[in-house]
């Protein structure tokens, strides 16, 4: 690799980052469906344990607990191997459990529906009757209840213990009452039974839970991805000067290790010998490589440049900087607040309403007609009708459509609670490098001596850099390509250690490099080029020079370029009343220049990973609901600490796995899409809850017999029909979410984006 070290620049480390596509595939591919019986039982046990979270920590819903409970005990992951790797496998196991029970229960429900006299009468069909056929309904209904319904009863126990009845309690009450009453009608013949209502209720609830588990399935642990940054082995230097390859776990404080060019640093330590530039952006967030010489500290997990280093180990294992970041990620995950799901809250209210309506119904009918089978039938009808078929699907259907719609628009949703919270964000923090900026340096300005045109100078520099893979070389070549310049051929290319490169172009010896190159060539800088270089330095830009046949003829200013979309996203968020902040490990001058260019409200510069986490907390302590947008390992703690963590999809695996939402298209404007979709989805959830609850407001009084004196009495069959109608309305309303317009042209009222500028 050629040298431009005097410019203090190096690749941003993207070449060393893992392909993000592996995460996308890993996190969302279908799990192996062949889960054995013992695995299924283990999944069910985990599900029930997750459900039993203390009510003192908030009335968290069942589905929210699925998302967060396993974070409270990272050490138990070894017990989940049968369900996949880490958290993703656990949630996939839950999904497969509900899926399997739904299909089996639905299949077993078919005979019950066929032999239901009510459905036969409504639909005008008949089925063969044979000796014993009268037992088809009760027998198959019992099987469906035990296989598909009992899990709901088990999950209702913690709600009752916590005195916070919710969806599970309401479902359990309805299916239990319908089950007991229907069995009683087999022994004590009554006007009607609820076998077909019972099985369809269980089927629909299993379907709702399957849809929801599928939409909230999480990928594998971010902590595991952090650990992958550390190499497995290290080269330890023995007392006789030889090297030996040993596992990193065998390194001890005080050991001397050799770090070869391009290798990962195995542990934190102090450089004892050698000079090199070390890429630390994945740890510190600094976009420039850091020059290391004897006496300087290095961090485990960072990438060495093209020089060899001998490093004395100062910290290993849990004491390293990377381990500290891992602990921050875990802490942030565990401290994530739980949010009540609207449907579960509504179910809790409906539980008490249903009980009250049942009691009033029993008393009123007993007074009116005395206590008999009619009274029992009225009470049972009220309790069964109160069970929310529609309410059970109101949220999962919207979530499933929301997730699908988001994916088609370049957003992968890993945490639906965070997606719902996005509508309420007060402030959004953006990482600078690779998020608001391109993350790769470009030519942002140039100056030439009299008689030399800018295009000629740029084409000549591109010719010299034609064989180099250095970041600055790529930037010069790309600038020449953008101007559609004809680049001459170069020969005799040579890298000059620590200074630059040279080559022969059209018979002339041409050099490209930084200030150290001019020192070696003993060349003075003309006044107007010196003024150009001074201005670039004030803007935190890097300057490289072009020398032809000993004459300095041009200077190029290099800087990280602001994304064209960044202007529009800041303006759009301001239009939505959201404060925009920027968080970066770069210098204050660089950060202020970017913030001034974009109109950003708050700037946090020269911030280390631990402080990034604290800065998010700082805004949260001010009462703000905070979103964080980042793309690197150094952003992981802040992403998980934020109320809504948003990862740019081209970032590192750990960044996308620490986030709640991943922007696959690498377009920060998708943050505005996220907020708009969140608002639209929440609105649909509210509408669906109104439809679902509205059915109960209408049906419960009729089932109780309020209009019985005028001859209007809601029968169980008609109640079931209304219940189905409510479910259909909810489903159609959820589908209308697909009509929300997320095109870029409608996301803001701003004018066309400005031309991209240097991130200076």
DSSP string, 228-292: TTS-SEEEEE-TTS-EEEEEGGG--TT-EEEE-TTPBP-SEEEEEE--EEEE-HHHH--SS-EEE
Tokens describing residue 370:
């005395």
Question: Closest Cα partner for 427 from 627, 218, 201?
Answer: 627
| Alpha carbons 183 and 567: distance in angstroms, whole number | 67
* More confident position, 569 or 412: 569
| Alpha carbons 549 and 503: distance in angstroms, whole number | 11
* More confident position, 408 or 436: 436
Q: Give the pLDDT confidence score for residue 498 in this predicted structure.
A: 66
Helix axes 136-144, 167-187, angle to 10 degrees: 160
Q: Give the pLDDT confidence score for residue 463 in this predicted structure.
A: 93
Q: Give the pLDDT confidence score for residue 30 in this predicted structure.
A: 37
Mean pLDDT of 491-508: 85
Handedness of CA 391, 392, 398, 402 (dihedral sign): positive
610 pLDDT band, cuts 50/70/90, is low
Phi/psi at 698 (5° precision)? -85, -45
Instruction: Give the least confident one: 444-453, 535-544, 645-654.
Output: 645-654
Tell me the helices (H) and strands (E) count for the chain, helix number first. 27, 22
Phi/psi at 203 (5° precision)? -60, -45
Q: Give the pLDDT confidence score for residue 282 in this predicted structure.
A: 61
Tokens describing residue 651:
């970032």
Q: Give the pLDDT confidence score for residue 622 in this predicted structure.
A: 92
With a cut of 80, say whether residue 90 has pLDDT above it.
no
Handedness of CA 357, 360, 363, 367 (dihedral sign): negative
Q: What is the pLDDT of residues 554-607, one digit of tens each?
A: 999 887 778 888 888 999 999 989 999 998 876 677 778 788 888 999 999 877
Mean pLDDT of 109-131: 89
Question: Beta-carbon neighbour count of residue 339 at 10 Å?
Answer: 16
With a cut of 90, say whether residue 256 has pLDDT above it.
yes
With a cut of 90, say whether residue 101 has pLDDT above it.
yes
Mean pLDDT of 664-682: 85
Mean pLDDT of 381-392: 70
Q: Give the pLDDT confidence score for residue 504 in this predicted structure.
A: 92
Q: Give the pLDDT confidence score for residue 577 in this predicted structure.
A: 92
Q: What is the pLDDT of residues 520-547, one digit of tens each?
A: 888 888 888 999 988 887 776 778 899 9
Tokens describing residue 369:
């007609």
* More confident position, 752 or 424: 424
3-state secondary structure of 307: coil
Tokens describing residue 629:
């947008």
3-state secondary structure of 650: coil
Q: What is the pLDDT of residues 200-219, one digit of tens each?
A: 878 877 887 787 666 545 43
Contact between residue 138 and residue 186 where contact means Cβ atoms under 8 Å apart: yes
Instruction: Give the least confident one: 88-97, 130-139, 253-262, 441-450.
Output: 88-97
Contact between residue 87 and residue 657 where contact means Cβ atoms under 8 Å apart: no
Pairing type for strands 427-431 and 437-448 reads unpaired
Contact between residue 751 and residue 676 where contact means Cβ atoms under 8 Å apart: no
| Alpha carbons 11 and 433: distance in angstroms, whole number | 12
Q: Give the pLDDT confidence score for residue 619 in this predicted structure.
A: 93
DSSP state string for 332-362: HHHTPPP---HHHHHHHHHHHHHHHHHHHHH
Please name the residue ranges forming H helices in 386-526: 389-408, 416-421, 454-464, 471-482, 515-521
613 pLDDT band, cuts 50/70/90, is confident
Mean pLDDT of 420-435: 87
Q: Give the pLDDT confidence score for residue 142 in this predicted structure.
A: 95
Is 445 a residue of the active site?
no
Tokens describing residue 106:
């639905």
Mean pLDDT of 92-114: 89
Mean pLDDT of 604-614: 79
Question: Beta-carbon neighbour count of residue 138 at 10 Å?
Answer: 17
442 pLDDT band, cuts 50/70/90, is confident
Query: What H or E segment, with its residue span, contains residue 558?
Result: strand 551-562
With a cut of 70, say whether residue 240 has pLDDT above it.
yes
| Alpha carbons 123 and 126: distance in angstroms, whole number | 9
| Alpha carbons 502 and 492: distance in angstroms, whole number | 8
Contact between residue 421 and residue 435 where contact means Cβ atoms under 8 Å apart: no
**Active-site residue among 203, 277, 415, 431?**
431
Q: Give the pLDDT confidence score for residue 25 in this predicted structure.
A: 33
Q: Give the pLDDT confidence score for residue 340 in this predicted structure.
A: 38
Q: Give the pLDDT confidence score for residue 514 in this predicted structure.
A: 83
With a cut of 70, say whether residue 22 has pLDDT above it.
no
The whole-chain average pLDDT of the chain stands at 75
Tokens describing residue 656:
């996308």
Question: Closest Cα partner for 199 from 286, 283, 257, 139?
Answer: 139
Q: Give the pLDDT confidence score for residue 78 in this predicted structure.
A: 37
Instruction: Give the least confident one: 26-30, 407-411, 449-453, 544-548.
Output: 26-30
Instruction: Give the least confident one: 228-232, 254-258, 426-430.
Output: 228-232
Q: Give the pLDDT confidence score for residue 682 in this predicted structure.
A: 86
Task: Supply the Cα-derived Rg of the chain in whole angstroms.
Answer: 33
Contacts of 648 (CB under 8 A, 6+ apart): 434, 435, 629, 630, 631, 655, 663, 666, 668
Question: Closest Cα partner for 7 from 618, 706, 557?
Answer: 557
Beta bridge partners of 448: 554
Question: Closest Cα partner for 582 from 752, 731, 428, 699?
Answer: 428
| Alpha carbons 411 and 647: distance in angstroms, whole number | 10
DSSP state string for 98-131: HHHHHHHHHHHHHHHHHT-HHHHHHHT------T
Residue owning tokens 């200077």: 555
Q: Which of 65-74, 263-272, 714-723 has the highest mean predicted lDDT (pLDDT)?
A: 263-272
Q: What is the pLDDT of residues 39-81, one digit of tens each?
A: 445 545 554 444 444 333 333 333 333 333 333 333 333 333 3
Contacts of 618 (CB under 8 A, 6+ apart): none
Mean pLDDT of 454-483: 87
3-state secondary structure of 442: strand
With a cut of 70, say whether residue 5 has pLDDT above it.
no
176 pLDDT band, cuts 50/70/90, is confident
| Alpha carbons 346 and 696: distance in angstroms, whole number | 11
Question: Closest Cα partner for 174 from 208, 192, 198, 190?
Answer: 198
Residue owning tokens 């300005």: 445
Instruction: Give the least confident one: 18-27, 243-252, 324-333, 345-354.
Output: 18-27
Output DSSP code: residue 36: -
């Amino acid at each position: 690799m050629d040298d431009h070290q005097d410019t203090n620049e190096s690749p941003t480390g993207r070449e060393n980052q893992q392909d993000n596509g592996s995460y996308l595939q890993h996190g969302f591919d279908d799990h192996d469906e062949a889960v054995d019986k013992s695995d299924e039982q283990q999944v069910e046990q985990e599900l029930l344990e997750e459900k039993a979270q203390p009510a003192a920590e908030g009335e968290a819903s069942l589905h929210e607990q699925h998302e967060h409970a396993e974070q409270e005990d990272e050490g138990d992951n070894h017990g989940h191997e049968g369900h996949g790797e880490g958290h993703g496998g656990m949630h996939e196991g839950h999904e497969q459990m509900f899926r399997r029970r739904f299909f089996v229960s639905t299949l077993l429900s078919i005979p019950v529906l066929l032999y239901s006299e009510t459905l036969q009468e409504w639909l005008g069909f008949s089925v063969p009757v044979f000796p014993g056929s009268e037992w088809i309904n009760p027998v198959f209904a019992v099987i469906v209840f035990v296989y598909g319904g009992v899990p709901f009863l088990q999950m209702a126990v913690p709600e009752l213990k916590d005195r916070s009845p919710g969806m599970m309690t309401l479902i359990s009450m309805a299916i239990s009452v319908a089950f007991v009453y229907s069995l009683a009608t087999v022994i004590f013949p009554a006007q009607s039974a609820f076998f077909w209502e019972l099985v369809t209720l269980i089927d629909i609830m299993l379907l709702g839970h399957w849809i929801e588990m599928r939409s909230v399935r999480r990928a594998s642990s971010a902590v595991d991805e952090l650990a992958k940054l550390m190499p497995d082995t290290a080269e330890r230097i023995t007392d006789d000067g030889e090297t030996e390859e040993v596992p990193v776990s065998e390194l001890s404080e005080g050991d001397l290790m050799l770090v070869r060019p391009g290798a990962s640093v195995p542990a934190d330590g102090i450089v004892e010998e050698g000079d090199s530039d070390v890429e630390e952006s994945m740890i510190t967030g600094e976009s420039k490589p850091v020059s290391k010489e004897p006496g300087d500290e290095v961090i485990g997990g960072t990438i060495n440049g093209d020089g060899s280093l001998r490093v004395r180990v100062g910290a290993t294992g849990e004491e390293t900087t990377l381990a500290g970041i891992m602990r921050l990620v875990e802490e942030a995950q565990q401290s994530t607040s739980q949010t009540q799901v609207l449907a579960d809250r509504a179910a809790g209210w409906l539980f008490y309403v249903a009980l009250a309506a049942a009691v009033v119904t029993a008393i009123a009918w007993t007074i009116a007609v005395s206590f008999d089978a009619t009274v029992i039938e009225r009470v049972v009808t009220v309790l069964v009708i109160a069970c929310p078929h529609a309410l059970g699907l109101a949220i999962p259907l919207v979530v499933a459509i929301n997730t699908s719609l988001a994916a088609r628009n370049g957003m992968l949703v890993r945490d639906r609670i965070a997606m719902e919270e996005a509508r309420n964000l007060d402030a959004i923090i953006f990482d600078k490098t690779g998020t608001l900026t391109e993350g790769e340096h470009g030519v942002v300005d140039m100056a030439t001596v009299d008689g030399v045109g800018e295009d000629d100078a740029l084409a000549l520099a591109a010719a010299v850099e034609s064989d180099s893979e250095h970041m600055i070389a790529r930037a010069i070549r790309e600038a020449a390509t953008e101007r559609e310049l004809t680049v001459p051929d170069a020969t005799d290319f040579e890298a000059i250690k620590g200074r630059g490169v040279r080559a022969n172009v059209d018979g002339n010896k041409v050099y490209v490099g930084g200030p150290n190159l001019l020192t070696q060539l003993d060349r003075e800088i003309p006044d107007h080029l010196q003024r150009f270089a001074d201005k670039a330095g004030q803007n935190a830009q890097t300057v490289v020079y072009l020398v032809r046949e000993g004459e300095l003829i041009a200077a190029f200013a290099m800087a990280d370029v602001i994304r064209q979309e960044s202007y529009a996203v800041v303006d759009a968020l301001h239009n939505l009343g959201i404060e925009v902040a920027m968080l970066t490990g770069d210098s204050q001058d660089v950060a202020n220049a970017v913030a001034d260019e974009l109109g950003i409200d708050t700037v946090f510069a020269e911030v280390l990973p631990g402080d990034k986490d604290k800065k998010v907390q700082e805004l949260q302590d001010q009462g703000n609901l905070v979103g964080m947008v980042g793309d690197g390992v150094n952003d992981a703690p802040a992403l998980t600490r934020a109320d809504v963590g948003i990862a740019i999809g081209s970032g590192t695996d750990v960044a996308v796995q620490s986030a709640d939402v991943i922007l696959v298209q690498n377009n920060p404007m998708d943050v505005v899409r996220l907020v708009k979709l969140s608002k639209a989805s929440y609105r649909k959830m509210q509408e669906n809850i109104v439809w679902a609850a509205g059915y109960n407001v209408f049906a419960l009084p009729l089932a109780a017999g309020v209009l019985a004196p005028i001859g209007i009495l809601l029968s169980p069959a008609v109640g079931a029909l209304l219940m189905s109608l409510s479910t259909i309305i909810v489903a159609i309303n959820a589908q209308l979410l697909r009509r929300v317009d997320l095109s870029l042209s409608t996301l803001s009222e701003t004018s066309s984006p400005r031309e991209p500028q240097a991130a200076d």
